[in-house]
Amino acid sequence: MANFDEDREMVQGFVADGHELLDELEPNLIELQKSCEAGGSTDIDKLNSIFRLFHSLKGAAGFLNLHNVTKVTHEAETLLNLLRESKIVLTPARTDVLCRACDFMHTLLAAIEENGNDQGFEGQS
């Protein structure tokens, strides 16, 4: 069993990695949103990249028992899978949902950094 310092170090590493992933995710979401608003076709490579970033966050959050992060990233993955499988089409409202998920992840990371967990957001995730 890890001690408190090791747990804190893992959580701090998750927060740092999470910020890096979000920094990579946000420009991809903006590009996806712009192409959607312009009426262009959905860039499957961009969707796959966004999916992988959410998936990476979800995997690490699951390991650390960060249930709200896991829930939000799982929901984003579900939406992205539907888009990747062409079961639904990309709309501005759907890109907005992904952008809001990204914004909420910033909120969760700030809480995790401060408190060491993502508790207290259950009704919002």
User: What confidence category does residue 125 fall into, taking pLDDT thresholds of 50, 70 and 90?
Assistant: low
User: What confidence category does residue 2 fall into, taking pLDDT thresholds of 50, 70 and 90?
Assistant: very low
Task: Tell me if the pTM is above 0.85.
Answer: yes
Question: For the chain, what's the residue count?
Answer: 125
Nearest CA among 54, 56, 28 for reference residue 42 = 28
Query: What burial letters (b/e) apply to 83-112, b meaning 16+ CB within 10 Å?
Result: beeeeeebeeebbeebbebbebbeebbebb
Average pLDDT of every residue of the chain: 89
Q: What element of type H or E holds 97?
A: helix 92-115
Residue 1 has what pLDDT? Answer: 39
Residue 12 has what pLDDT? Answer: 93
In this model, does residue 107 exceed pLDDT 70? yes
pLDDT tens track for 60-75: 999 999 999 999 999 9
DSSP 24-63: HHHHHHHHHHHHHHTTPPP-HHHHHHHHHHHHHHHHHHHH
Contact (CB, 8 A) for 113 and 15? yes
Residue 32 has what pLDDT? Answer: 86
